[in-house]
Amino acid sequence: MAGEHILLSTEIVNRGIEASGPDAGSPTFSVRVRRRLPDFLQSVNLKYVKLGYHYLISHGIYLATIPVLVVVFSAEVGSLSREELWKKVWGETSYDLATVLAFFGVVVFTVSVYFMSRPRPIYLIDFACYRPSDDLKVSGEEFMELARKSGKFEEESLAFQFRILKSSGIGDETYVPKSIFSPGNCATMKEGRAEASMVMFGALDELFEKCGVRPKEVGILVVNCSLFNPTPSLSAMIVNHYKMRGNILSYNLGGMGCSAGIIALDLARDMLQANPNSYAVVVSTEAVSFAWYTGRNRSMLIPNCFFRMGCSAVLLSNRRRDFRRAKYRLEHIVRTHRGADDRSFRCVYQEEDERRIKGLSLSRDLMEVGGHALKTNITTLGPLVLPFSEQLLFFAALLFRCRSSNSAASSKPYIPDYKLAFEHFCMHAASKVVLDELQRNLELGDRHMEASRAVLHRFGNTSSSSIWYELAYLEAKSRVRRGDRVWQLAFGSGFKCNSAVWRAMRQVRRPSRNPWLDCIDRYPVGL
Q: Which residues are catalytic?
A: 258, 337, 424, 428, 457, 461
Amino acid of residue 146: L
Q: How many CB atoms lie within 10 A of CB 144?
A: 18
List helix spans (H) across 60-96.
61-78, 82-86
Where residue 34 falls (left for φ over 0; alpha for ψ -120 to 50; beta otherwise) is beta
**Rounded to an integer, what is the distance from CA 41 to the centroid of its chain?**
20
Of 133, 61, 67, 37, nearest to 370 (Cα)? 37
E-strand spans in 274-423? Answer: 279-285, 311-317, 328-337, 348-352, 358-362
**Residue 509 per-residue DSSP state:** P
**Residue 138 per-residue DSSP state:** E
Do residues 435 and 489 touch, judged by C-beta distance below 8 A? no
User: Which positions ≥6 away from 43 have C-beta within 8 Å?
Assistant: 375
Q: How many CB atoms lie within 10 A of CB 86?
A: 11
Amino acid of residue 432: K
Do residues 519 and 507 touch, judged by C-beta distance below 8 A? no
3-state SS class at 207: helix
Do residues 283 and 224 touch, judged by C-beta distance below 8 A? yes
List helix spans (H) across 167-321.
189-211, 234-242, 260-274, 288-291, 298-306
Handedness of CA 142, 147, 148, 149 (dihedral sign): positive
- What Cα–Cα distance (Å) separates residue 511 from each residue in 284, 328, 517? 21, 15, 9
**Residue 217 per-residue DSSP state:** G
Handedness of CA 181, 350, 369, 463 (dihedral sign): negative
Task: Kindly write down the DSSP assignment for every residue of 404-467, as one continuous string.
Answer: -HHHHTTSPPPPP-GGGT-SEEEE----HHHHHHHHHHHT--HHHHHHHHHHHHHH-B-GGGHH
Give dist(CA 316, CA 204) in Å, integer: 13
Do residues 273 and 120 touch, judged by C-beta distance below 8 A? yes
Q: What is the dihedral of CA 213, 217, 222, 223, to 10 degrees?
A: 60
